[in-house]
Amino acid sequence: MYTQALNTAETDDRGLEDAAKAAQFQARIDAEERIEPNDWTPAAYRKTLTRQISQHAHSEIVGMLPEGNWITRAPTLRRKAALLAKVQDECGHGLYLYAAAETLGTSREALVDAMLAGKAKYSSIFNYPTLTWADIGTIGWLVDGAAIMNQIPLCRCSYGPYARAMIRVCKEESFHQRQGYEIMLTLCRGSDEQKAMAQDALNRWWWPVLMMFGPPDATSQHSDTSTKWKIKRFSNDELRQKFVDATVPQAQYLGLTVPDPGMIQDADGHWRYSEIDWTEFKQVLAGNGPCNRDRLAARRKAHDEGAWVREAAAAYAAKRVQRQTAQAAE
């Protein structure tokens, strides 16, 4: 999902740690206790969570770019106000998540610098372009819809600060998905051209959205420990299937066709999708998606152009402290 790069192998550095402490830690997890920042944890637990939460935060921040692209061109004032609020929410989500990640011991600045240096990942989905207004509807409906599927179980994640951030995020995501679906509904009830635009957006986003859930369970190397530590409660394929089952009827209601001719509904009512093109997924993660370079360049530009604001704020705060100290000395 927003943390796909976790699905890469990681060296096990738990060998040296106190086995008794580790057993105690696992017992707390098994008892559904929440782990808090100052509690003892295996180093790998912190490392995994720092990566997962910071990647999630980066995804929220980079995710503002494809949608921000349409704020000035939203078709009505109502749509513009809603999109502006949505993009502002994504920024807020990024900030809640950075705050949660920091409790694990890495500074905000170090996390952001890693992203800007291209060392930290963010979700593959934000490397696709938003070509038409229908893309904004599709992102709200599908991308935020997929995010909700992934984030609801994270509200019960074993790490307290992450779980609490997710509760806030989930409350707000529901507005995002509904505003997206409403855009799609309006287009699908509009002219033939508008409906064709909605179908075209669905065609382009469907497969990348399914890829958001990460590699198939058979090839995902990270899930075992994440499941044991109750960071992850459902597998990639389970969440993907849940999402497809929830989404197909919504597409049918819109009168749109899911771009998967091989899709069939099985006897249990599940919609079975065709093979996903994992080569494309790997290419996008490796930096070769349609917009990877553009997204990073935009983030770096914003960061660089904001440098004077950070410097001015720090200088002003330092001056005030200095003045207060001088007055106190008088």
Partner 1 sequence: MATPNTPLWEVFVRSRNGLAHKHVGSLHASDATMALQAARDIYTRRGEGLSIWVVPSTAITASDPAEKGMMFEPAESKIYRHPTFYEVPDEVGHM
What is the Cα–Cα distance from 101 to 59, expressed in whole angstroms? 13
Please spell the DSSP secondary structure of 170-213, one letter per residue. Answer: HHHHHHHHHHHHHHHHHHHTS-HHHHHHHHHHHHHHHHHHHHTT
Q: How far is CA 154 from CA 1, 140, 173, in A?
A: 12, 20, 14
Of 221, 313, 322, 324, the one binding partner 1 (CB under 8 A) is: 313
Long-range pairs for 110-114 at CB < 8 Å and ≥24 separation?
111/54, 111/57, 111/58, 112/303, 114/54
CA nearest to 55, candidates 15, 133, 114, 117: 114
330, two tokens: 């008088």
Q: Is 209 exposed, middle or buried (0-12, 13-18, 19+ CB in 10 A)?
A: buried
Q: How far is the CB of 68 from partner 1 (least distance, A)?
A: 17
Residue ranges in 164-223 that form contacts with partner 1 under rule CB under 8 A: 164-165, 168, 172
Please spell the DSSP secondary structure of 82-132, one letter per residue. Answer: HHHHHHHHHHHHHHHHHHHHHTTT--HHHHHHHHHTT-S---GGGGS---S
Which one, 246 or 298, has the nearer CB to partner 1? 298
Residue ranges in 108-127 that form contacts with partner 1 under rule CB under 8 A: 108-110, 112-113
Of 60, 67, 89, 173, the one binding partner 1 (CB under 8 A) is: 89
Q: How far is the CB of 99 from partner 1 (least distance, A)?
A: 5
Residue ranges in 126-165 that form contacts with partner 1 under rule CB under 8 A: 164-165
310 binds partner 1 (CB under 8 A): yes
What is the Cα–Cα distance from 326 to 330, expressed in whole angstroms? 7
Q: What is the largest CA-CA distance in the chain?
A: 84
Of 44, 99, 185, 276, the one binding partner 1 (CB under 8 A) is: 99
Q: How far is the CB of 132 from partner 1 (least distance, A)?
A: 28
Name the one range near partner 1 by CB under 8 A: 2-10, 106-114, 274-282, 293-301: 106-114
Write the interaction track for partner 1 spanning residues 255-294; mark x where CB under 8 A is met and - where it is not.
----------------------------------------
Write the interaction track for partner 1 spanning residues 26-55; mark x where CB under 8 A is met and - where it is not.
----------x-xxx---------------
88 binds partner 1 (CB under 8 A): yes
73 binds partner 1 (CB under 8 A): no
What is the Cα–Cα distance from 196 to 301, expressed in whole angstroms? 35
24 binds partner 1 (CB under 8 A): no
Which one, 14 or 320, has the nearer CB to partner 1? 320
Which one, 73 or 319, has the nearer CB to partner 1? 319
23 binds partner 1 (CB under 8 A): no
Within the chain, how many helices (H) and strands (E) appear? 14, 2
Q: Hey, what amino acid is at 183?
A: I
314 binds partner 1 (CB under 8 A): yes
The sign of the torsion formed by the CA atoms of 243, 246, 250, 256 equals: positive
96 binds partner 1 (CB under 8 A): yes
Which one, 54 or 124, has the nearer CB to partner 1? 54
Residues that bind partner 1 (CB under 8 A): 36, 38-40, 85, 88-89, 92, 95-96, 99, 102, 107-110, 112-113, 164-165, 168, 172, 303, 310, 313-314, 316-317, 320
